[in-house]
């Protein structure tokens, strides 16, 4: 008999319909739940949902959502509660406990969301984490800055990615950052780690890593999110046994053990300093965003959407992992504001990259520009892959420099 899954946020963000579809294709009955009405669900997720419930206060008041969900379920038994969207990770844990469904508990989920609790637990477990302090008011930010020292980072304690994140090299820069953080209730003030920024992403079952991925950001997200002209890249390593990433892999496995992660996707970010020291950044109990799962799929010709669904439903992972390629996702940002007026250089990119070009997903002429500060994919992205690392980087750089989008 097939299993029944309660999937929170089944249609948002953009990759979620692919995970929802994978559950259904693995034989699960998928029940969707989120805060928006059913008619707003994207068309590519609707065929895979057996039922859907809108709970407007789902993410704001998860404890109050348990009873409406229980009434809606009626006599239906739920085997798994899943959520792969950062703001819903704790909500899913609350519903698991309220409905008596196994999986990540509220206490465990909180350690993946609250960066202070996360770093406290990991530091106690022997993981090198940035020095940091929690602040709720401007005066506490100043006190934390005095404790941590400069340069430092100020970011939300429960944020996702590099949103609302500021590097401050001096008190004057803290003064400039604070007005932009007034909407953030709790902040993490931490040591700025100068180094390259990597990822360690996994699919786990029963506390064991069944698949892992190592990626690197070019440039690091904090730089990319503060310079509009940059075409940010995420690159996927083919040679994961490279000594340069061994420290991050070992740290990632240690982090999962300390936090007691059991089953599902994880996305960890870590730093490698010039002297080779590796330092933990943060970890989330969800997959990486910005189409990085697509990148991982193209690197090995596998389907990690189905691989994750299999892990969730059956505790197994049978995808054949052969690391054939390095792969790179390049995000494009148009020059100008308004609507896309033209795209230049795409023919040159196609000619240069040939079969190495896997994806071209750019806003069409006439479409309004996206807000590049609030979306990781900006005005579109391309994916390239190649067996050779240096060639992959060269192709990614060519896409970054020779393809230009314009808006007016």
Residue 112 lies in a domain: no
3 state SS of 57: coil
Q: What is the DSSP string of 197-239?
A: EEEEEEEEETTEEEEEEEEEEES-HHHHTT-TT---EEEE-S-
Any domain includes 66: yes
Residues 335 and 237 in one domain: yes
User: Where residue 185 sits, what CATH number does that domain have?
Assistant: 3.30.1490.20
Query: For residue range 337-386, what is the model confidence (pLDDT) as tens digits?
Result: 999 999 999 999 999 999 999 999 999 999 999 998 888 889 999 999 99
- Gap between the Cα atoms of 28 and 21, Å rounded: 10
The pLDDT of residue 162: 58
Say if residue 371 is in the same domain as residue 233.
yes
pTM over 0.85: yes
Claim to verify: residue 203 and residue 264 sit in the same structural domain: yes
Q: How many domains does the chain have?
A: 3
**Would you state the structure tokens that stand for residue 257, as one six-digit string?**
């053990």
- Predicted local confidence at residue 19, as pLDDT: 97
Whether residue 123 lies inside any domain: the answer is no
Could you tell me the CATH number of the domain that includes residue 54? 3.40.50.20
**Is the domain of 233 the same as that of 184?**
no
- Are 93 and 155 contained in the same domain? no
CA dist., res. 280 & res. 117, Å (int): 14
Answer yes or no: is 113 within a domain.
no
Residue 402 and residue 308 share a domain: yes
Q: Are residues 206 and 147 in the same domain?
A: no
Is 39 inside any structural domain?
Answer: yes
Residues 158-181 pLDDT 10s: 766 556 788 898 999 999 888 888
Tell me if residue 355 falls in helix, strand or coil: helix
Structure tokens at 87: 């703001």
Identify the pLDDT of residue 132: 85
Do residue 236 and residue 309 come from a single domain?
yes
Which residue ranges in the chain fall short of pLDDT 50?
A: none
Residues 46, 144 within the same domain: no
Among candidate residues 133, 51, 64, 128, the one with its CA nearest the CA of residue 98: 64
Q: Which domain holds residue 306?
A: 195-407
pLDDT the model gives residue 1:
67
105-131 pLDDT, tens digit per residue, is 999 999 999 888 999 999 999 999 988
Do 115 and 187 meet the contact criterion of CB atoms below 8 Å apart?
no
**Same domain, residue pair 396 and 325:** yes
8-state DSSP, 50? S
Does residue 152 share a domain with residue 177?
yes
Q: Is the same domain home to 259 and 401?
A: yes
């Amino acid at each position: 008999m097939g299993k029944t899954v309660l999937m929170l946020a089944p249609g948002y963000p953009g990759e979620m319909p692919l995970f929802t579809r994978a559950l259904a294709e693995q034989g699960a009955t998928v029940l969707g739940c989120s805060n928006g009405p059913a008619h707003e669900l994207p068309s590519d997720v609707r065929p895979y949902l057996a039922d859907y419930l809108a709970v407007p206060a789902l993410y704001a008041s998860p404890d109050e959502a348990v009873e409406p969900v229980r009434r809606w379920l009626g006599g239906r038994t739920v085997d798994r509660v899943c959520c792969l969207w950062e703001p819903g990770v704790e909500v899913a844990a609350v519903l698991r406990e309220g409905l008596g469904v196994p999986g990540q508990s509220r206490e465990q989920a909180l350690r993946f969301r609250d960066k202070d609790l996360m770093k406290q637990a990991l530091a106690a477990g022997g993981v090198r984490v940035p020095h940091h302090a929690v602040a709720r008011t401007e005066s506490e930010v100043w006190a934390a800055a005095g404790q941590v020292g400069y340069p430092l980072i100020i970011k939300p304690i429960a944020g996702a990615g590099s949103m609302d994140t500021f590097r401050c090299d001096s008190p004057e820069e803290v003064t400039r950052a604070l007005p932009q953080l007034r909407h953030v209730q709790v902040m993490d003030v931490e040591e700025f780690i100068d180094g390259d920024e990597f990822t360690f992403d996994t699919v786990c079952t029963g506390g064991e890593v069944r698949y892992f991925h190592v990626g690197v950001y070019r440039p690091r997200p904090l730089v990319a999110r503060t310079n509009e002209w940059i075409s940010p890249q995420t690159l996927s390593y083919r040679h994961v046994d490279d000594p340069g990433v061994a420290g991050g892999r070992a740290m990632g496995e240690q982090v999962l053990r300390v936090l007691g992660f059991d089953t599902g996707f994880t996305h960890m970010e870590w730093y490698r300093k010039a002297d080779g020291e590796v330092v933990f950044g943060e970890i989330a109990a969800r997959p990486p965003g910005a189409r990085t799962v697509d990148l991982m799929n193209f690197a090995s010709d596998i389907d990690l959407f189905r691989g994750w669904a299999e892990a969730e439903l059956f505790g197994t992972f049978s995808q054949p992992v052969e690391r054939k390629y390095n792969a790179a996702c390049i995000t494009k940002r148009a020059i100008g504001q308004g609507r896309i007026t033209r795209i230049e250089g795409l023919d040159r990119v196609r000619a240069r990259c040939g079969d190495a070009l896997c994806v071209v997903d750019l806003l069409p002429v006439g479409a309004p520009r996206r807000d590049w500060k609030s979306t990781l994919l900006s005005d579109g992205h391309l994916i390239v892959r190649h067996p050779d690392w240096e060639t992959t980087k060269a192709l990614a750089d060519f896409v970054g420099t020779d393809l230009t989008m314009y808006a007016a």
